[in-house]
Structure 1
Amino acid sequence: MPRKEPATRLDPRYSAPEATPTTWAEAREQLETAELYWLSTVRPDGRPHVTPLLAVWLDEALHFCTGAGERKARNLAANPNCVLTTGVNVLDRGLDLVVEGPALPVTEETPLRRVAAAYEAKYGSEWHFDVRDGAFAGQGGRALVFQVSPATAFGFRKGAYGQTRWRF
Structure 2
Amino acid sequence: MQTTKIVPRQAPERRRETLERLATERDVWVSTAHPEHGPHQVPLWFMWDGQAVWMCTGATSATARNVREDPRVRLGLPDTSDVVLLQGTVECFPDHEVPGEAAQAFVDKFGWDPRREDGPFLYICLVPKTVRAWRGEQELRGRVIMRDGAWVA
Q: Find the partner of 1:115 among 102, 115, 127.
A: 102
Runs (4+) of structure 1 exceeding 3 A deviation are 106-111
Partner of 2:30: 39
Aligned to 2:89: 102
Structure 2 unaligned residues grouped into runs of 5+: none
Which TM-score applies when normalising by structure 2?
0.78
Say how many residue pairs are matched: 139
Letter in 2 for 1:19: P
Identity level (%)? 25
Q: What are the residue-to-residue correspondences of 1:137-152 with 2, within 5 Å?
A: 137-152=115-130
The structure, 1 or 2, with the larger RCO (C-alpha pairs under 8 Å, 6+ apart) is 1
- How far apart in 1 are the matches of 2:104 and 2:46? 12
The answer (yes or no) to whether the contact 2:32–2:63 under 8 Å persists in 1 is yes
TM-score (norm 1): 0.72
Range that drifts further, 48-57 or 141-150: 141-150
**Counterpart check, 1:79 vs 2:83:** no
Question: CA-to-partner distance for each residue in 1:76-108, whole Å, 9 max, x for gaps?
Answer: 11100011111325x4xxx22110001112369
The alignment's C-alpha RMSD in Å is: 2.6
CA contact (8 A) 1:34 1:87 kept: no
Q: 1:110 to 1:152 in 2, by over 3 A?
A: same
Greater mean alpha carbon deviation, residues 102-111 or residues 26-35: 102-111
Post-superposition CA distance 1:31-89 (Å, at most 9, x none)? 12111111000112161100111010114010111222111111111100011111325
